Structure 1
Amino acid sequence: MADDTDTSARRWTYLMDMDGVLVHEETLIPGADELIAELTVAGNPFLVLTNNSIRTPRDLRARLEQTGLDVPESAIWTSALATASFLDSQRPRGTAYVVGESGLTTALHDVGYVLTDRDPDYVVLGETRTYSFEAITTAIRLVERGARFIATNPDPTGPSRDGSLPATGAVAALISRATGREPYFVGKPNTLMMRSALRALGAHSEQTLMIGDRMDTDVVVGLEAGMRTILVLSGISTRQTMEMYPYRPTLVVDSVADLVGRTGDPFSR
């Protein structure tokens, strides 16, 4: 029997954040295409994760293809899919009022949910580039009347070419301030998203790596889910900001390019 500390004897499963790890907006991060190709050839199971709930996996696959990344639709796991899976486990074939886009509405429809603004079981808040005052007001009134409040992820801002954009967490704070009700966040850093991803792969946390660019979501969620973690410095977190946190990743690299040729044992030197 192999020693549990012998990482070279393992066949690793890879969970990877998307933005800041594989791509920047619509631009490929150098080495990302080689890493995906290497994992595919070697047969290492992997999922690309994103807290962004705007797009469906099919849409995201097309977006990644345009940057030069060949990622199967089945290898993309979003906070919208995790949210739909969670709601299906809690209240199968329920009803929801959704503030979000096609990634979220499609995921909920696929598990049998009916979308309505008439006495829904849940108000579900996701990412959108077109938040409307009318939709937010409806969400507030439904939560006040007893609808359970769910949000896909707690990220307060998202990136754009011109700077930060308000994201799900910021709008959730607005609804919470108006209603006095806090949402249940399903996406990272909730380990629920990681467990649902592991179930989708049929994988175990002890044989899984989490690669991300954020200490406050990617690294902490991997750590709490019992995984080895790799922080890449191609996104949000830096070596300086990393020192602010009381926990550390298992490995720090400049980018995923440093993992090419090492996917069998990324911790080897």
Structure 2
Amino acid sequence: MIKMTEQEQNLRLLEELRGKQGYICDMDGVIYHGNRLLPGVKDFIDWLYKNNKRFLFLTNSSERSPKELQQKLERMGLEVDESHFYTSSLATAKFIHSQAPGCSAYVIGAPGLVNALYDVGITMNDVNPDYVVVGEINSYNYNMIIKACQLINKGARLVATNSDMTGPSDFGIIPACRALVAPIELATGRQAYYVGKPNPLMMRTGLRLLDVHSEDAAMIGDRMDTDIVAGTESGLMTCLVLSGVSTLENIKEFSYRPSIILEGVNQIPE
């Protein structure tokens, strides 16, 4: 039996990746950094459309609504329909609504999260809410931490949009949602329930929106601890791109491996 070389193995895996019907893609570190489009992304999107692929941008970023994400890409020169976006804010709102319809929440987060909660009938309450909900926010401060701790100690349940400790930006790696939740968890002794990737809830929703079986789909992301583990546990082929957080050096820390590693999505189009 002739053993394939590493290069031949990578080419075979790349062809397998290209043959999938559906793609779940992260955004930060895969499509852009901040307001900068990453190399080859336009070619990748054109390839998806040209080959009639089904694709969904499944992002743990909770700050923007699908419409805002669609407009952000439009400003960068990419035209993608709003239906191709699903965020951790939408997943969080859906989860809380399924647990306690008509409940109220004290929210530490950006408009994308607040609007998602409003849309499913969850009202804002800073006196006796059912939930304290935390997502990414630029104006995070000590008073918010104090208020959240007081409400949780009174009985509110703690939910967070995603478990990312850090994220990529124009300025390098910056703190993300879990870093904001950590002081509240430490001060109250309560563990937040994290809704976004790698929670299977969000991945199952993504596959339903794609209407593709897990065996015919691939997860493309830049993080081993959210994207790749989420894809692995959901039965998808996984593609790690080195354009974001994870590097060839730090993937050695994890017991699982992506199916294929690429420099970026620019390597996917034929």
TM-score normalized with structure 2 length: 0.89
Post-superposition shift, 1:29? 1.4
The answer for the alignment partner of 2:139 in structure 1 is 130
The answer for the alignment partner of 2:111 in structure 1 is 102
Post-superposition shift, 1:103? 0.6
123-132 or 43-52, which moves further after superposition? 43-52
Post-superposition shift, 1:165? 3.1
- Aligned residues of 1:124 and 1:151 also touching (Cα < 8 A): yes
Shift in CA distance, 121/8, structure 1 to aligned 2, threshold 3 Å: closer
- Aligned residues of 2:107 and 2:132 also touching (Cα < 8 A): yes
The answer for the alignment partner of 1:239 in structure 2 is 248
CA deviation map 1:198-232 (0-9, x unaligned): 22233322211000111121111100111110111
- Aligned residues of 2:163 and 2:194 also touching (Cα < 8 A): yes
The answer for the alignment partner of 2:68 in structure 1 is 59
The answer for the alignment partner of 1:252 in structure 2 is 261
1:183-202 alignment runs, 5 A limit: 183-202=192-211
Give the number of aligned pairs: 256
TM-score normalized with structure 1 length: 0.89
CA deviation map 1:8-58 (0-9, x unaligned): 996521000111111122111122111112212332111112211111111
Post-superposition shift, 1:69? 2.0
Q: In 1, distance between residues paired with 2:213 and 2:102?
A: 29
Task: Select the residue among 63, 71, 76 that pairs with 2:80.
Answer: 71
Is 1:144 the counterpart of 2:153 in the alignment? Answer: yes
What SS class does the counterpart of residue 80 from structure 1 fall into? helix
- Aligned residues of 1:57 and 1:77 also touching (Cα < 8 A): yes
Q: In 2, distance between residues paired with 1:139 and 1:58?
A: 29
Post-superposition shift, 1:76? 1.0
Q: In 1, distance between residues paired with 2:129 and 2:18?
A: 50
Percent identity between the aligned chains?
A: 48
Shift in CA distance, 233/8, structure 1 to aligned 2, threshold 3 Å: closer
Is 1:207 the counterpart of 2:216 in the alignment? Answer: yes
Across the aligned residues of Structure 1 and Structure 2, the Cα RMSD in angstroms comes to: 1.9
Code of the residue aligned with 2:29 in structure 1: it is: G
What SS class does the counterpart of residue 98 from structure 1 fall into? strand
What SS class does the counterpart of residue 266 from structure 2 fall into? helix
Post-superposition shift, 1:251? 1.2
> Unpaired runs of 5+ in structure 2?
1-14
Shift in CA distance, 133/193, structure 1 to aligned 2, threshold 3 Å: same
Q: In 2, distance between residues paired with 1:190 and 1:15?
A: 14
Post-superposition shift, 1:80? 0.5
